[in-house]
Amino acid sequence: MSVDKNTRIDWLRQMYTGRAFEEMAEKLYALGKIHGTMHLSMGMEASAVGTIAAIKEGDYILGTHRGHTQLVAYGADLNRMMAEFMGKAAGYCRGRGGSMHIADVPGGYLGAQGIVGGNIPLSVGVGLTIRNRKTDQICVCFFGDGAANEGAFHESLNMAAIWKLPIVFVCENNQYGMSMNIKNAMAIDQISDRAASYGMPGITVDGNDVMAVYEAVGEAIKRARAGEGPSLVENNTYRWRGHSKSDANRYRTKEEIAKWMKKDPIARFQGQMIKEGVLTQAEADQIATDAKEAIESAVKFADASPEPDVSTILEGVYVE
């Protein structure tokens, strides 16, 4: 599949922006400007960007607790995103959602998800809605390897398959569910093998190769849009940081982390483009600088935004 130069440069920009957002979020957390916890996806950028590159306007995305680059790739406004992380009134959810519950429902990003696997049954509802509307929309549902061991995963894939719903299930297999390696959590080598038991196609791809992800998800989307039903795409990848902010990383070796850091999806994609002669090192450096500047400017915006007014605290509370 050939993808034009400008589109590929845009993917690189999105990956750099996702990385820069997380580097900044990590700093702001350490400074006490972001509260709660946070799950960083550094090292997994190609999975988010390659997947979202394959959707079109009007489609739906259900994100995860590790979804910052998913949001960036979706085209979230960085100012409103940063304000949300910092609990400010100008945030996407007026500062109430934060990293794990940020959503832009009008735009189609139906939300990050703090309940592991909680978005998988929701995607069945989204798929059913699309089918009832008779539009050609599709829904992409992200989740992790850990979520693929939950009952909700199995029930949802079964229902999506029997009803031929337009859903692409995207498993971001980063090899760990919290501190447990996938080898201790399942007896199969590929999560995509599970697809066959529900009667849908399943494929495992190198999740650090943005083009491979784009192609696999693109095929699955084509199928979903044509009314042929759901698919499962497994993006094999790795998170560089600990599970969350409270993780001391004691369950994996420095060597293992270093091995995966050598497979950095950004350096790899950039290196390919430079080798092909469609990008220069200077242009790549500029993209990286622009990404950092965009994030710094988002922090300025968020810093200047007021805290939500206390008088609004019950707005959006539906059960008292």
Residues that bind ligand TPP (CB under 6 A): 39, 65-66, 114-116, 144-147, 174, 176-178, 243
For ligand TPP, the nearest residue by Cβ is: 144
* Residues 281, 12: Cα–Cα separation, whole Å: 13
Among Mg ion, ligand TPP, none, the one that 65 touches (CB under a kind-dependent 5 to 8 A) is ligand TPP
Asked if residue 11 lies in contact with residue 49, where contact means CB atoms within 8 angstroms, the answer is yes
In the complex, which residues of this chain contact Mg ion (CB under 5 A)? 144-146, 174, 177
Q: Which is nearer to ligand TPP, 174 or 305 (CB)?
A: 174
Smallest distance from ligand TPP to CB 243, Å:
6
CB 35 within 8 A of CB 98: yes
Q: How far is the CB of 174 from Mg ion (least distance, A)?
A: 4
Asked if 158 contacts 179 with a C-beta cutoff of 8 angstroms, the reply is no
Give the nearest distance from C-beta 177 to Mg ion in angstroms: 5
Q: Which is nearer to ligand TPP, 8 or 66 (CB)?
A: 66
- Output 156 or 173, the one with its CB closest to Mg ion: 173
Tally of CB atoms within 10 A around 185: 13
Pairing of strands 180-181, 176-177: antiparallel
103's tokens: 């959503």
**Closest residue (Cβ) to Mg ion?**
144
Complex with ligand TPP: residue 67 or 229, whichever CB lies closer:
67
Q: Specify the residue, 48 or 82, whose C-beta has the smaller distance to Mg ion.
A: 48
147, interface contact from Mg ion, ligand TPP, none, CB < 5-8 Å by kind: ligand TPP
Copy the structure tokens of residue 152.
């909700």
Least Å distance, CB 270 to ligand TPP, is: 24
List own/partner pairs for 245-249 with CB under 8 A and 24 or more apart.
Answer: 245/29, 245/37, 245/38, 246/37, 247/178, 247/179
- Residue 23 CA, chain-centre distance (Å), reads 16
